[in-house]
Chain A
Amino acid sequence: MKRIFLWISIALILLWTLLPFYSLIVTSIAASGSIGEFFPKNVTFEYYRAILFGDESGSKSIWSYMLNSVIIGSISTVVVLLVSVPAAYGFSRWRSRTSTNIYLSYFVLRMLPPIALVVPRLVILGRLGLIDTFLGLALIYIPTQIPLGIWLMKGFFDGTPKELEENAWVEGAGVFKTFWKIILPINGSGIAVTAVFVFIYCYIEFLYASLMGRSSVITLPTYIAGFSTPWEIRFQLMLAAALISILPMIILFGFAQRYIVRGITGGALKY
């Protein structure tokens, strides 16, 4: 009896999770009179055609925006890893009062809502002439994600036995060589997980993307939000674009799932 009750609640939660996706799909194929109907009477795929190939009324196809999102995601992910992996290793292996304090201050910095720093950041980037550039957007995302990267990676390094590098040192390998040849390869899966989280964040970030992207660097969330104007919201185009835009993420998650499950286990939980 109790089991049945539990399974019913799971089923309800499952329904609650999937219903919006069902709605997403049917709305994206509903002809203009049928938005919001549970079983749309008139179905059309013209919106998908418009998203995939562009249409006469001037809406552009999704691909260049997806490319922008992938580019900004890749740049940021690579830099975040380059910066936070060594830093996390430093925090994990050489503990002192100073390093603990620096580490904790990263947490405080991570707490700051990104929206709170919009104005000064835009002013700085404006002075540097970096508005509407990949570099400018990357310079926003990277510092936001570095604390997360350090946090996850430190967890992985904490879980790596110290004996490994102690042995290497006794045999005469230097600190950097040991880090490069022994520590990094062991933590490959951890690095993959961190990369996935950072990439997803950059891929779907809306606030800064919409403020920074004017004409040349427009990413997916801004492109999708662009179907909503003060005069009308073109739901079908918006949702069709949204569905297409999450496909790469689903594939990425599929590939990374085993890593993600392992990764969180080894990482974040230590703090």
Chain B
Amino acid sequence: MVTIETLKKRKSRRFSSDRIKVFLFLIPAAVLLLVFLVIPIFQCLYYSLFNWNGMGPAEDFIGILNYKKIINDSVFIKAVLNTFAIVGLSLFVQLPLALFLAIMIGRGIKGRAFYRTVFFLPYVLSETITAVMWRILYNPDPKRGFINAVFQAFGWKMQDWLGNMNLVLFSIFIVLTWKYIGFHMLLYITGLQNIPRDVEEAALIDGVNKRQMLTYITLPLLSGTIRTSAYLSVLGSLQVYAIVWIMTKGGPVNASEVLSTYMYRFSFVRFQLGYGAAVAIVMLIISLIFSITYMSLTRRTEHVA
């Protein structure tokens, strides 16, 4: 007689015994990633040991000299610090702002679709255009640049937004926030929609106020979304390239240099491809550290996979 127990056993055997089929599902992805992600990484490692300008085969083997030069280059250190600053600002300024927007316009307000579309709009614009457009906005001449025109109109002190070494990174961060805030807001809005209404209604009946609701109920239930958006935000911040390159080329005097622009400069402007490859490897190591940190943080709070 077929009992429920034996059926269940059969089902679970099905889930565990189809190893070969599982790997059939995974193979296409694995092959592509191997050829275009994993092999390039090893190739990069190889080039990084040479003094190579990209012409002909790499022959001038110099061992780890490139890495020594990187560590001793103050511009590289500056680039690392700037990149970390962007990561930090994104996590602690941009994301809370996105969350604020999401909570404000997330639910039950008229014209939700309008707000959603407007705030998402910059995300669709290519980085090239974003950078060019903001360069116009940041033009220090108030006749040519909107922002200084507004500052002038209010009688505030006008700034050289992209030319001032102390200000330039902040100016770039404003652009990055402008471009990516809508994406994170959309993540949060949908996360909020996911929270079951009855949980909050029950809490209201129990007499919690709005602030308590936010700290003890909404935010904890939203933690999965927040993790996702934090991960994507760090990812994006480490990869920032086109916006910085087009707006400032890393200047003035390296004040807005980030890892990507530093690498790009050596590889494709100065054609020191061996050195560029070594920078790439250092970037990979930094990314790896972030990934491992992220995973160990999430693994502790939630069962992964």
Contacts and interface: CB of A to CB of B under 8 A. Distances in A.
A170 to B, nearest CB: 7
Contacts of A250: 117, 121, 124
Contact of A116 (B22, B143, B283): B283
A265 B116 contact: no
Contacts of A115: 239, 241, 260, 263-264, 280, 283
B43 A89 contact: no
A225 B23 CA distance: 43
Contacts of A271: 224, 227-228, 231, 298, 304
Output the residue of A27, A83, A104, A115 with the most chain B CB within 10 A.
A115
Interface stretch (A48-56, A60-68, A94-102, A184-192): A94-102
B6 to A, nearest CB: 11
Contact of B228 (A17, A86, A124, A269): A269
Contacts of A246: 124-125
B277 A119 contact: yes
A143 B37 contact: yes
Given A100-B304, A117-B37, A264-B190, A224 B129 contact: yes
B295 A107 contact: yes
A218 interface: no
B149 interface: yes
A187 B263 CA distance: 41
B169 to A, nearest CB: 18
B291 A242 contact: no
Contacts of B129: 24, 224, 238-239, 242
Contacts of B30: 102
B177 to A, nearest CB: 9
Contact of A10 (B104, B235, B277, B298): B104
A157 to B, nearest CB: 11
A87 interface: yes
A118 B136 contact: no
Contacts of A264: 186-187, 190-191
A119 B46 CA distance: 12
A38 interface: yes
Nearest to A270: B224
A73 interface: no
Interface residues of A, number: 94
Interface stretch (B10-18, B66-74, B160-168): B10-18
A148 to B, nearest CB: 9
A17 B305 contact: no
Interface in B248-305: 259-260, 263-264, 267-268, 273, 276-277, 279-281, 283-284, 287-288, 290-292, 294-295, 298, 304-305
Given A86-B25, A120-B44, A169-B14, A111 B235 contact: yes
A94 B33 contact: no
A91 B26 CA distance: 8
Contacts of A268: 187, 225, 228
A6 B104 contact: yes
Nearest to B32: A143
A135 interface: no
B132 interface: yes
A30 to B, nearest CB: 10
Interface in A179-212: 200, 204, 206-207, 211
A257 B117 contact: yes
Interface in B1-55: 7, 10-11, 14-16, 18-19, 21-23, 25-26, 28-30, 32-33, 35-41, 43-44, 47, 54
Nearest to A110: B235
Contacts of B116: 257, 261
Contact of B178 (A14, A17, A103): A17
A109 B280 contact: no
A112 interface: yes
Interface of B: 7, 10-11, 14-16, 18-19, 21-23, 25-26, 28-30, 32-33, 35-41, 43-44, 47, 54, 97, 101, 104-105, 113, 115-129, 132-134, 136-137, 139, 141, 143-146, 149, 178, 182, 186-187, 189-191, 193-194, 224-225, 227-228, 231, 235, 238-239, 241-242, 246, 259-260, 263-264, 267-268, 273, 276-277, 279-281, 283-284, 287-288, 290-292, 294-295, 298, 304-305
Q: Which 7 A-B pairs have the closest CB atoms?
A: A90-B25, A36-B144, A120-B43, A120-B40, A116-B280, A204-B126, A242-B129
Given A27-B136, A86-B28, 13 more contacts: A17-B122, A35-B144, A38-B149, A90-B22, A94-B19, A115-B241, A117-B280, A119-B267, A119-B277, A146-B29, A206-B127, A207-B242, A225-B128
Interface of A: 6, 10, 13-14, 16-21, 23-24, 27, 35-38, 82-84, 86-87, 89-91, 93-95, 99-100, 102-104, 106-121, 123-124, 139-140, 142-143, 146-147, 150, 166, 169-170, 175-176, 200, 204, 206-207, 211, 220-221, 224-225, 228, 233, 235, 238-239, 242, 245-246, 249-250, 253-254, 257, 260-262, 264-265, 268-271
14 contacts: A14-B115, A38-B149, A106-B29, A112-B41, A112-B287, A113-B239, A113-B287, A143-B36, A166-B11, A170-B11, A250-B121, A261-B116, A264-B186, A268-B225
